Amino acid sequence: MSHFINVILPLPLEKHFTYSVSPAEADFLQVGMRVAVPFGKSKIYTGIISKIHQQAPEIYEAKPIEQILDEKPIVTATQLKFWEWIASYYMCAEGEVLRAAIPSAFLLESETVVQLYKKIEIEERALTDDEFLLFEALQRQSSMKIQEIIQLLDKKTVLPVINSLVEKRVVVVNQEIYEQYKPKLERYVQLHSSYSGEARMHELLDNLDRAPRQREVVLTLFSLSARTKKPIKVSELAKEAKTTTATIKSLIDKNVLEEFHLQTQRVQYEERKLAGEIELNEFQEQTFSEVEQAFESESVCLLHGVTSSGKTEIYIKLIEKVIAEGKQVLFLLPEIALTAQLISRLQNYFGEQVMVYHSKYSVNERVEVYQNILNNSEKAKIVVGVRSSIFLPFQKLGLIVVDEEHESTFKQYDPAPRYNARDASVVLGNLHSSNVLLGTATPAIESYFNAEHHKYKLVNLNRRFGNVLLPKIEVVDIKEKHRKKRMMGHFSDRLQEEITETLKNGEQVILFQNRRGFSPILECNTCGHSPQCPNCDVSLTFHNHNNQLRCHYCGYHMALQKKCMKCGSPELTTKGFGTEQVETELKALFPEHKIGRMDLDTTRGKHGYEKIIAAFEAKEIDILVGTQMLTKGLDFRNVRLVGIMNADTLLNFPDFRAHERSFQLMLQVAGRAGRTKEQGLVLIQTYNPHHRIVQQVSTNSYVEMYEEQTEERRQYKYPPYYRLIRITLKSRDYSRVNEGADWLAKGLKQAFQENVLGPEFPPVARIRNEYYKNILIKIPQKQSISKTKKVMERIFTSFKAIGGFRSIKLVINVDPY
Ligand code: ADP
Ligand code: ZN
Ligand code: ZN
């Protein structure tokens, strides 16, 4: 009797491949283990066993495997089912899902590069002879390929050796390095707490009569604090009081002053370290029990809670219950860098039980996290991560929280699988019989629709924590302001007034402009030409700080030209404006205040985000200008005013979700204002003050927005009423992409008639010298999705069989976002 295994290879193949194994191997092997197998002419890949059986493949002869890599499965049966669903729903290969799903260190293959783990201390005795040989070789040369290692060890089966060294943390493969951010500790001083109260202060000053230097320092500290209303750095005080840090130190030693660090300021949650110390207020308590009740009848619950209502605290209480039952929790976030605040809140509360999974972690760290979860370790009870963490090997998932569920970052664009982690988590929850909680202040229309149609339960929380009122939202008509000459650059008189007022009270300002750069477009007054990217069909964006024109799609850049490149005229004007210009204008308007900018350009460097966020929290920045990065659930304590520089660019974006998105963005950024004490203020500058969305934002009318938008979507056949599948054809050859798209659209129209739109060039039709053309398929609710996909696949197969079209790339995006 011959034995075979089916293997999923990390390649875009339609099927699993069958290999032959010996009876003894068949006996040892289990589904979910890794094997190294030959594929193609001379390549070796690591694959996952999906089935063990006795049926020889019909059309090819099964090759034997090279090597068994595991002693027990590293992929669970549930994961395999999940992969199958992802591949079939998002129309890609299971091999592509596999690549996205497990750390690349698990997938040794011919191309793998092996390096020594930095700063290791090795117990040489713990290594086998082969391992030691490789370890030694890697000390002489910085990296080695598998082929070189095969030569070195003089044997074919080297993957187990490497595997074992990865596990022993001696080597890394395909390394990228990520170091966790540690904010710099700044020393601050304040008057010692024993000197509160006027009497004690006079006493202190009298005492210091004979130490004029020290007295001077104390007085300077008073005046500095009164003037800046900010914590005072030791260095700042030394400078202002014209003294040395030694003098300040002596005052600290005498308990006149006390020092503290930025770090202790940042973590305000310390006092709630111990479990059970969070006290929900009555509204949170109510919400908490409604969510629990919801889970009794339905496994998915949408928590619609206004910004700063304390959703995190409710999550924490729910999580606590689930882990007490011995189950695991997955906490999905739209982004890690911007949500460091939330992660430290979870870590402060749950300590060691929280594990963060990050795509920027080094490959080894990812292996460690993966294995901890697989073993249901105490260290991985709560897994916090971005979208890809839905692929981790959970054993007993009890709850999935999707925070800020409306965020588009839950959708993967490239490469396949193009999944939406929010939607996929509902399926994952189902596979584990786990509950799923979607939380947000601005639900995605799809999610709210599902709640309205009783697929999800809906729970509302309308109060901010601490009974702070939601910010007051005021619309500023800038058309009118321009007419009345009340604009300074892009700042209305209202906005300037309120900024002045806010700064005067020592509070902070956030300004939102959803475009980076100085002014997006440079235009010639004489001939109307604006400089274009040579590789993409877009105008270049002007960046003032380095006098460059840049392409935001491919990174192409050139020096700013003084004259029009077409007609030579020196009269160039700028159109539109970005964050950089807002910053420049602000510096002129408020020269004595610190201004920070947060966008892709300023956060690119290592820990860019964290630095800016920490500086803003420490009040080293008074006004923070930024793009939509500012909207991501940040919890700042001292922001009174939020200004939206221009609502119109958001509203006019050519996409059926533009209105929904504008609403979400504006309401989220508004939610950064006035989170602690008094009510905050939001100013929305717009040329269209009567736009429905602007009105709905200003009155916080989510349901009204939802009803109007869904009505439009119904009329024009968009989600949630219709499902969309977008097919993008890409080629460097312009006429080929046109021909291919026409052929494909014709075939699809025969099958789906008027529910096929296009082919059509997208707004940016050429990127990095590839031409793009889209076809959109709309699937009515009644039409079977799986049948639709089968028909599509048949058409794709005929398409690929046509010689001239073989070079065209087909990208299929189910539920594009
Ligand atoms: P959301 O995520 O709903 O916008 P957060 O969870 O960030 O709101 O809560 C807003 C602020 O209120 C946070 O600073 C949080 O620490 C505080 N807060 C909320 N609930 C509580 C509570 N029960 N006890 C103490 N502080 C709370
Ligand atoms: Zn010109
Ligand atoms: Zn470009």
- The fraction of the chain above a pLDDT of 70, given in percent, is 94
Whether 176 shows a pLDDT value over 80: the answer reads no
Cis peptide before 415 (omega within 30 of 0): yes
CATH number of the domain bearing residue 15: 3.40.1440.60
Q: Provide the pLDDT for residue 728.
A: 96
Ligand 1, pocket residues at CB < 6 Å: 278-281, 284, 305, 307-313, 465, 635
Q: From residue 122, how far is each of 41, 169, 176 by CA, in Å?
A: 38, 9, 22
488 and 402 belong to one structural domain:
no
Question: Distance, CA 582 to ligand 1 centroid (Å)?
Answer: 31
**Residue 611 in domain:** yes
**Which ligand minimizes its atom distance to the CA of 348?**
1
> Whose CA is closest to atom 18 on ligand 1?
310
> Whose CA is closest to atom 20 on ligand 1?
310
537 and 608 belong to one structural domain:
no
143 and 53 belong to one structural domain:
no
Domain termination site, one of 434, 466, 498 = 466
Binding site membership: which residues?
A: 524, 527, 533, 536, 551, 554, 564, 567
* 672 vs 632: CA distance, rounded Å: 9
CATH number of the domain bearing residue 316: 3.40.50.300
* 267 vs 254: CA distance, rounded Å: 27
Mean pLDDT for the stretch of residues 406-430? 96
* 404 vs 312: CA distance, rounded Å: 11
Whether 375 shows a pLDDT value over 80: the answer reads yes
Query: How does residue 182 score in pLDDT terms, banded at 50, 70 and 90?
Result: very low
Query: How does residue 269 score in pLDDT terms, banded at 50, 70 and 90?
Result: very low
* Closest among 102, 83, 106, 101 to 93, alpha carbons compared: 83
CATH number of the domain bearing residue 791: 3.30.70.600
**Which ligand minimizes its atom distance to the CA of 304?**
1
* 25 vs 38: CA distance, rounded Å: 17
Query: How does residue 689 score in pLDDT terms, banded at 50, 70 and 90?
Result: very high
**Residue 183 in domain:** no
> Whose CA is closest to atom 21 on ligand 1?
310
Question: Distance, CA 623 to ligand 2 centroid (Å)?
Answer: 37
Best mutation site among 308, 316, 348, 402 for ligand 1 pocket (most ligand atoms within 8 Å of CB): 308
Atom of ligand 1 nearest to the CA of 312: 6
Token pair for residue 19?
Answer: 């290999």
3-state secondary structure 645-671: CCCHHHHCCCCCCHHHHHHHHHHHHHC
* 3 vs 24: CA distance, rounded Å: 9
Question: Distance, CA 563 to ligand 2 centroid (Å)?
Answer: 8
Best mutation site among 331, 465, 667 for ligand 1 pocket (most ligand atoms within 8 Å of CB): 465
Q: Provide the pLDDT for residue 364.
A: 59
302 and 447 belong to one structural domain:
yes
* 763 vs 548: CA distance, rounded Å: 24
Question: Distance, CA 527 to ligand 2 centroid (Å)?
Answer: 4
Question: Distance, CA 560 to ligand 2 centroid (Å)?
Answer: 14
Atom of ligand 1 nearest to the CA of 461: 3
511 and 639 belong to one structural domain:
yes
**Residue 268 in domain:** no
**Which ligand minimizes its atom distance to the CA of 569?**
2
95 and 214 belong to one structural domain:
no
235 and 298 belong to one structural domain:
no
> Whose CA is closest to atom 17 on ligand 1?
310
Q: Provide the pLDDT for residue 179.
A: 40
3-state secondary structure 67-104: EECCCCCCCCHHHHHHHHHHHHHCCCCHHHHHHHHCCH
706 and 730 belong to one structural domain:
no
Cis peptide before 720 (omega within 30 of 0): yes
Question: Distance, CA 278 to ligand 1 centroid (Å)?
Answer: 10
**Which ligand minimizes its atom distance to the CA of 466?**
1
Domain termination site, one of 106, 133, 159 = 106
Pairing of strands 328-332, 382-385: parallel
**Residue 263 in domain:** no
Token pair for residue 639?
Answer: 């922001």
Cis peptide before 64 (omega within 30 of 0): no
**Residue 275 in domain:** no
Binding site membership for Zn(2+): which residues?
A: 524, 527, 533, 536, 551, 554, 564, 567
Token pair for residue 408?
Answer: 């588009």
583 and 634 belong to one structural domain:
yes
The distance of Cα 54 from the centroid of its chain, to the nearest Å, equals 45
- Exposed/middle/buried for 376, CB within 10 Å: 0-12, 13-18, 19+? middle
Token pair for residue 491?
Answer: 């700042």
Q: Is 606 helix (H, G, I), strand (E, B) or coil?
A: coil
* Number of Cβ within a 10 Å radius of residue 198: 8
Q: Provide the pLDDT for residue 45.
A: 87
Q: What is the pLDDT of residues 486-542, one digit of tens each?
A: 999 999 999 999 999 999 999 999 999 987 666 677 888 888 888 888 988 888 888
CA atoms 424, 430, 433, 436: torsion sign: positive
DSSP letter at 184 equals: P
Question: Distance, CA 538 to ligand 3 centroid (Å)?
Answer: 7
Question: Distance, CA 529 to ligand 2 centroid (Å)?
Answer: 5
Query: How does residue 191 score in pLDDT terms, banded at 50, 70 and 90?
Result: confident
512 and 523 belong to one structural domain:
no
CB 461 within 8 A of CB 287: yes
Q: Provide the pLDDT for residue 604.
A: 72
Q: Could you give the number of structural domains in the chain?
A: 7
549 and 495 belong to one structural domain:
no
The answer to which of 140-144, 252-256, 419-423, 514-518 has the lowest mean pLDDT is 514-518
Query: How does residue 773 score in pLDDT terms, banded at 50, 70 and 90?
Result: very high
**Residue 276 in domain:** no
* Closest among 259, 302, 260 to 423, alpha carbons compared: 302
The amino acid at residue 483 is R
Mean pLDDT for the stretch of residues 117-144? 81
* Number of Cβ within a 10 Å radius of residue 157: 14
Q: What is the pLDDT of residues 631-658, one digit of tens each?
A: 776 778 899 999 999 998 888 877 899 9
* 710 vs 445: CA distance, rounded Å: 8
- Exposed/middle/buried for 206, CB within 10 Å: 0-12, 13-18, 19+? exposed
Domain termination site, one of 556, 576, 596 = 576
Best mutation site among 273, 284, 313, 402 for ligand 1 pocket (most ligand atoms within 8 Å of CB): 313
**Residue 187 in domain:** no
301 and 436 belong to one structural domain:
yes
> Whose CA is closest to atom 22 on ligand 1?
280
Q: Please tell me the number of Cα atoms within 13 Å of 271 on its side-chain side.
A: 3
Domain that holds residue 591: 472-516+579-711
**Bigger pLDDT: 556 or 608?**
556
* Number of Cβ within a 10 Å radius of residue 484: 11
Query: How does residue 189 score in pLDDT terms, banded at 50, 70 and 90?
Result: confident
CB 200 within 8 A of CB 192: no
Strand partners, 725: 777, 814
- When the pLDDT of each residue in the chain is averaged and rounded to a whole number, the result is 88
Whether 366 shows a pLDDT value over 80: the answer reads no
**Residue 168 in domain:** yes
**Which ligand minimizes its atom distance to the CA of 540?**
3
Provide the whole-model pTM. Answer: 0.82
